[in-house]
Amino acid sequence: MKNYDITKTKLIIWDLDETFWYGTLEEGGVIFNPDTVSFIQELTTKGIMNSICSKNSFERVREEFINSGFKHIWDLFVFPSIDFSPKGERVKGIISDMNLREENVILIDDNISNLNEAKFYCPKIMTAVPENISKMAEELYLVNDYDFEHTRLKQYKILEEKAAVRSKSSNEDFLRNSGIKICIKTDCIKNIDRIKKLISRTNQLNFTKFRDEKLEDTIENNKAAYIIAEDKFGNYGICGFYALDKKTGRLIHFLFSCRIMNMGIEQFVYSYLGKPDIEIKGEVASILDGTPDWIEVVENLDIKPVEKKVKNNINILFKGPCDLYSALSYIDADCNIDTEFPYWNKQLIYILAHTHTAFIEQTNKLPQAKIKEITSRFPFPNPDEFKTKFFDSKYNIIFLSLLTVTHSGLYINKNDGAYVVFGYADSDITDENNWEKILAPLPEEARAVNIPMLKEFKKDYDFAGNPPVETVISNLRYIRENLAPETRLVLILGSEIPTDKFLAGYENMAEKHKILNSAVREFAKQNNVEIIELTEFIKSDEDYTTCINHFSRRIYSDLAKRVIEVSNRVLNGKYLSEKN
């Protein structure tokens, strides 16, 4: 039985012997598992932290990592607890020190007794055994978050250092000696993306728990500000936000990142605002009593940059589904990287169509009025699918995966040629014979009310084909003609080697890839476009996981190597490299 959900995970706590590595350290040595080592790196890139709870000698473990050439992996762990005492209380201590909730933590251990003991101390913790690790790694593509600069890791390293110092003095003395400073800034729209992410990720210190669908309006019409914090241990960036209703004086939003928990910042800001009226929703890991006097308000603090500052103006865009963003876990960059991958928006709609060539074309071609018209008629497409930087002339290289175009259902408006993507290519929704299948997942009472919508859609749209070869080539031609001449376009082509593994909508994909790939190769020859063939990397059926478009980590590693080779050759320099 599966007892974990990787999409809810903020921390994985690892046992070592017969879990993270093969063998037992105290009984003759161990062998590092290369798949697990890679998984730790991928987790960190996704912003998921890793810790250790092991019955071993701390120094022996640390030396084993260093002497085996894995110091860079040792450095990815935070709050490691390595001694011979029982694990239950230690697991609870790790979670507490990191200011996390136990329901966002997975403990992986080969000893069921250790898992049960941890469950006693942390009833809501998720658990897994070593046999679950490979499946967990396969599901990591579901996590639509990235931290390429390991910003989250660095911030937890600060917490780790603070915890060590705090243990040597009283908590209040520690806070008074920490030099805590905050800056309260009102230019919220300028940093709206960071604030939205803070709202979506914050729960423990989110006092109102309001998931605002019209945040820009809330900011514009009320008194709103974000908080930046730092102390002598480091900078925490934007770590808080509030919005105060101008008319009622009540707090609409009042939330803070768990990174600043126990520093007194939420109490200080609440007091600073005059302790306004607030309706606290649900459980909150802090109370707003008191007025800490160890915090200094300053006029300005730096917002720690999300992206690494580089000394060149090289820009690369990666756009597509899970193949490219899985490959990026294996790549280090000495240049500016932008990504446009599928994600869940704040309405919990999965934004995927924007990776389709047809959508890329019309984001550049259609005026805003037309986009508004398209997105208002049917439940699809979503306005978020028209957001892109694809045609920005700054890009030296654009890597575009075509895996979406072979299995997605593409439709063309009969009157104006506008595109809509919905469902799968093997289930044409303009064919009434498919309606029963399309409506089957809906509750029975909801099926009849959708029939008029399907009839209206059928009246206005034509199915583009399975696969829609001519349309895709037309899209690519438009894309190439409208990109900056200096931008090199690199296309990723799907595998042509069949597999018995498939998900709904992915049947007979190898044949569809062959048909589409043949036309794309010819287009590439004529238009100075490079291609990367996933077919070249497949050695056996074990290279597929759930279907022909989902691969083992070796394939993503091989894809990363080819991306690095192509980039450095095109750019005539070493701008991408393999992660150590």
Residue 331: band (very low, low, confident or very high) from pLDDT cuts 50, 70, 90: confident
Q: Which residues contact 113 (CB under 8 A, 6 or more apart)?
A: none
Question: Which of 78-87, 127-136, 256-265, 560-569 shows the lowest mean pLDDT across its residues?
Answer: 256-265
Model confidence at 440: pLDDT above 90: no
Q: In the chain, count of helices (H) and strands (E)?
A: 20, 24
Residue 305: band (very low, low, confident or very high) from pLDDT cuts 50, 70, 90: very low
In the chain, % of residues over pLDDT 70: 96
pLDDT average, residue stretch 548-559: 86
Q: Evaluate whether 208 touches 280 at the Cβ level (below 8 Å).
A: yes
Query: Residues 476-495: pLDDT tens digits?
Result: 999 999 999 999 999 999 99
Question: Which of 2-16, 157-171, 316-330, 459-473 shows the lowest mean pLDDT across its residues?
Answer: 157-171
pLDDT in the model for residue 423: 87
C-alpha span between 61 and 14 (Å, rounded): 13
Q: Give the range with max mean pLDDT: 303-312, 430-439, 444-453.
A: 430-439
Cα distances from 220 to residues 12, 214, 225, 243, in angstroms, run 39, 10, 11, 10
pLDDT in the model for residue 308: 47
Q: Cα-flanking dihedrals φ and ψ of residue 199, to 5°?
A: -65, -45
pLDDT in the model for residue 477: 97
Strands (E), 67-190: 81-83, 105-108, 126-128, 180-185
Strands (E), 402-547: 408-413, 419-424, 461-463, 488-493, 530-533
Q: Which residues contact 168 (CB under 8 A, 6 or more apart)?
A: none
Model confidence at 270: pLDDT above 60: yes
Model confidence at 272: pLDDT above 50: yes
Task: Write out the two tokens for 508.
Answer: 């007979």
Bridge partners (DSSP) listed for residue 371: none
Model confidence at 213: pLDDT above 90: no
Model confidence at 537: pLDDT above 70: yes
Task: Write out the two tokens for 297.
Answer: 């308000």
Q: Evaluate whether 315 touches 365 at the Cβ level (below 8 Å).
A: no
pLDDT in the model for residue 296: 94
Model confidence at 531: pLDDT above 50: yes
pLDDT in the model for residue 580: 64
Domains of the chain listed by start with CATH number? 6-152 (3.40.50.1000), 169-297 (3.40.630), 315-408+467-578 (3.40.50.1110)
Nearest to 38 by CA among 160, 133, 150: 133
Query: Residues 336-349: pLDDT tens digits?
Result: 888 898 876 656 57
Please give the angle made by the CA atoms of 370, 375 and 378, to the nearest 5 degrees.
130
Q: Evaluate whether 467 touches 516 at the Cβ level (below 8 Å).
A: yes
pLDDT in the model for residue 161: 83
Crossing angle for the helix pair 151-166 and 87-97, to the nearest 10 degrees: 110
State the DSSP string of 10-56: SEEEE-TBTTTEEEEGGGTEEEE-HHHHHHHHHHHHTT-EEEEEEES
Bridge partners (DSSP) listed for residue 350: 344
Task: Write out the two tokens for 202.
Answer: 């914050």
pLDDT in the model for residue 274: 94
Model confidence at 170: pLDDT above 70: no
C-alpha span between 332 and 325 (Å, rounded): 13
Bridge partners (DSSP) listed for residue 398: 317, 489
3-state secondary structure of 239: strand
Residue 521: band (very low, low, confident or very high) from pLDDT cuts 50, 70, 90: very high
Bridge partners (DSSP) listed for residue 340: 319
Helix (H) or strand (E) holding 476: helix 469-482
The one-letter amino acid at 478: Y
pLDDT in the model for residue 306: 41
pLDDT in the model for residue 329: 72
Q: Is the pTM of this model over 0.85?
A: no
Cis peptide bond prior to 381, omega within 30° of 0: yes
Other beta carbons less than 10 A from residue 478's beta carbon: 17
Q: Evaluate whether 54 touches 337 at the Cβ level (below 8 Å).
A: no
Report the DSSP pairing between strands 530-533 and 488-493.
Answer: parallel
Helix (H) or strand (E) holding 259: none
Q: Evaluate whether 2 touches 97 at the Cβ level (below 8 Å).
A: no
Nearest to 547 by CA among 513, 516, 515: 513
Query: Residues 97-149: pLDDT tens digits?
Result: 998 999 999 999 998 889 989 999 999 999 999 999 988 988 888 887 788 77
Average pLDDT, the chain: 89
State the DSSP string of 155-177: HHHHHHHHHHHHTTS-HHHHHHT
Model confidence at 169: pLDDT above 70: no
